[in-house]
């Protein structure tokens, strides 16, 4: 059944678990996530970016999620707009049937230039007004995502600030978070604590202080009823990178966010954990391996099946690690 983000995350908070929010663009990704959720009995957040709409088209996205709801009636599903760049985008998503939208006013409409606090409050407040009127949840974002190690936002994915960032921008300020929530009434808040989008998060293996878990605790203490969201939460498993390289891919050395640190984040108040890159890597590794090992095959179902199995395994591991397994 379709359910709002607020309902899902209220349950997660009450039972102290976190929910992965996986990005979807095509049927195979949706199938991977739903099969995994069905296997371990987890609620699901399916999120679609503007890029997803550009790829699949609004109708296909909507109908594919409807199909997931129909095929798995016992699993609560939230259909979430990821990184809405303007109130207009969020309005369109709501009209298209999304039960939750993110208004990312931390960046200007170009999705690159850091925006002022006042701009962020103004656009987010407007979205909350029309979204709440129809029972749709809203996620806002305060602070600019970027690595504390490099000062850089994630690259190559079209989401993230351009240029080197100051440490003050890279960690969400707890008092400002409290004021922002008070002014906008968002249900969930994406915070900057040292993660960034895409595969190239860290140049060295992460240590215990790669993320600012303390900052999560400080923010959670100020806004206990607003659900905290961690973007850029792919773990970039080294085994997948090795498999991609072994079968002809070319991905340079890079590291993601260890699952153990995400679990620490969940213990400190994070409820929604955004993951896109890891599914991309799992599918690519599986398809590369299959095509190299079966050069005579040309039926797309054969290699997509491998991709689904690999992504399903990854999703299952995240549902289990974050504690959402058994909560559907």
**Cα within 13 Å of Cα(253), Cβ side:** 4
Give one DSSP letter per residue of 249-310, joined into a string.
----S-B---HHHHHHHHHTTEEEEEE-HHHHHHHHHHHHHHHHH-TT---HHHHHHHHHHH
Sites of contact with ligand 13P (CB under 6 A): 23, 82-83, 197-198, 231-234, 274-278
Scanning residues 250 to 309, which ones bind Zn ion (CB under 5 A)? 274
With contacts defined by CB under 6 A, name the span among 62-70, 118-126, 154-162, 242-250 that binds ligand G3H.
154-162
Is residue 215 involved in binding Zn ion (CB under 5 A)? no
Nearest residue (CB) to ligand 13P, 213 versus 236: 236
> Least separation, in Å, of the C-beta of 268 and ligand 13P?
18
> Least separation, in Å, of the C-beta of 276 and Zn ion?
7
| The one among 53, 125, 201, 231 contacting Zn ion by CB under 5 A | 231
Rounded Cα–Cα distance for residues 63 and 66 (Å): 5
Nearest residue (CB) to ligand 13P, 21 versus 289: 21
**Other beta carbons less than 10 A from residue 204's beta carbon:** 11
Q: 118 catalytic, yes or no?
A: no
Could you tell me if 111 and 162 are in contact, meaning their C-beta atoms sit under 8 angstroms apart?
no
Strand partners, 102: 139
| The one among 6, 80, 197, 316 contacting ligand G3H by CB under 6 A | 197
- The answer on whether 83 is annotated among ligand-binding residues is yes
Nearest residue (CB) to ligand G3H, 157 versus 173: 157
Nearest residue (CB) to ligand G3H, 75 versus 159: 159
**Residue corresponding to tokens 């206990």:** 224
> Least separation, in Å, of the C-beta of 274 and ligand G3H?
7
Nearest to 232 by CA among 143, 132, 299, 324: 143
Which residue out of 10, 82, 110, 173 is catalytically annotated? 82
- The answer on whether 277 is annotated among ligand-binding residues is yes
Rounded Cα–Cα distance for residues 2 and 4 (Å): 7
Is residue 111 involved in binding ligand G3H (CB under 6 A)? no
Q: Phi, psi at residue 83, to the nearest 5°? A: 50, 55
Q: Phi, psi at residue 107, to the nearest 5°? A: -120, 155
Query: What is the size of the binding site for ligand G3H (CB under 6 A)?
Result: 11
| The one among 139, 141, 173, 276 contacting ligand G3H by CB under 6 A | 276
Beta 77-84 vs 227-230: how paired, if at all? unpaired
- Please give the positions annotated as active site: 82
- The annotated binding site is made up of 83, 104, 141, 197-198, 231-234, 274-277
- The annotated binding site for Zn(2+) is made up of 83, 104, 141, 197, 231
């Amino acid at each position: 059944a379709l359910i709002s983000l607020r309902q899902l995350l209220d349950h997660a908070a009450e039972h102290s678990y976190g929910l992965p929010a996986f990005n979807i663009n095509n049927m195979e990704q949706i199938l991977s996530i739903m099969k995994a959720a069905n296997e371990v009995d987890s609620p699901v957040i399916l999120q679609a970016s503007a890029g997803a709409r550009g790829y699949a088209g609004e109708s296909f996205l909507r109908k594919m999620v409807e199909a997931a709801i129909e095929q798995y009636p016992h699993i609560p599903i939230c259909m979430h707009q990821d990184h809405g760049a303007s109130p207009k985008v969020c309005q369109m998503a709501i009209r298209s049937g999304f039960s939750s939208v993110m208004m990312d006013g931390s960046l200007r409409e170009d999705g690159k230039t850091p925006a002022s606090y006042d701009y962020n409050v103004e656009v987010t407040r407007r979205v909350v007004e029309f979204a709440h009127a129809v029972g749709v949840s809203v996620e806002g974002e305060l602070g600019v995502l970027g690595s504390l190690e490099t000062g850089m936002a994630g690259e190559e994915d079209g989401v993230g600030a351009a240029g080197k960032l100051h440490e003050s921008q890279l960690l969400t300020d707890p008092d400002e978070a409290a004021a922002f929530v008070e002014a906008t009434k968002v249900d969930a808040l994406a915070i900057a604590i040292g993660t960034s989008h895409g595969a190239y998060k860290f140049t060295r293996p992460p240590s215990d202080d790669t993320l600012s878990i303390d900052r999560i605790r400080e923010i959670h203490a100020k806004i206990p009823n607003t659900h905290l969201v961690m973007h850029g939460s792919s773990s970039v498993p080294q085994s997948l990178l090795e498999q991609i390289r072994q079968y002809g891919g070319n991905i340079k050395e890079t590291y993601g966010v260890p699952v153990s640190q995400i679990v620490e984040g969940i213990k400190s108040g994070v409820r929604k954990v955004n993951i896109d890159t890891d599914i991309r890597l799992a599918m690519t590794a599986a398809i590369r391996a299959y095509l190299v090992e079966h050069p005579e095959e040309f039926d797309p179902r054969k290699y997509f099946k491998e991709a689904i199995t690999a992504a399903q395994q990854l999703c299952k591991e995240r549902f289990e690690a974050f504690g959402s397994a058994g909560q559907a």
